[in-house]
Amino acid sequence: MIYLRYALLVIALLFAVMVALANSGSVTLALWPDTVASFVGREAQITLPLFVVVGGAIGLGLVLGLIWEWLRERAIRREAAQSRRELEAIRSAERSTPVPAVRRPRDEILEIVDEPKSAR
């Protein structure tokens, strides 16, 4: 199973390298449109290879999605922690108080199966 995981990882890395080589052309990212940049008097732009821009956008999307889900599930984690505390309190209370042994009525078939051969 671990070999399959490594094989899939190698395939994914090869695919990423192929995409990077195919999209190595430079693109210019600008913070403002040209009209706003001329009004402000300062251009904020950077030139990067296309695969860096795409990879960065994908990575940023993954990180923001993970943060969003972590924040969204905060109430669920809080409720689970409270349930664990309540369960531990119940278990510790059960351990501290002795429980009397209660004999439950048994099924007739089980009585026949479990009874000694000499009694039959």
CA distance linking residue 93 with residue 90, whole number of Å: 5
Q: How far apart are the first and last CA of the chain?
A: 56
Q: Is residue 107 part of a domain?
A: no
Residue span of the structural domain in which 49 resides: 2-96
Q: Is residue 10 part of a domain?
A: yes
The domain total for the chain is: 1
Nearby residues of 53 by Cβ (< 8 Å), 6 or more positions away:
27, 29
Nearby residues of 37 by Cβ (< 8 Å), 6 or more positions away:
30, 31, 43, 44
Model confidence over 22-62: pLDDT tens digits? 888 999 988 888 788 778 877 888 999 998 998 899 999 99
Both tokens of 35, joined, read 């009209």
Q: Is residue 19 part of a domain?
A: yes
Contact 28, 46 (CB under 8 A): yes
Q: Is residue 116 part of a domain?
A: no
Q: Is residue 8 part of a domain?
A: yes
Q: Is residue 33 part of a domain?
A: yes
What's the whole-number average pLDDT of the chain? 86
pLDDT at residue 115, rounded to an integer: 72
Q: Is residue 109 part of a domain?
A: no
The pTM score is 0.58
Contact 24, 50 (CB under 8 A): yes
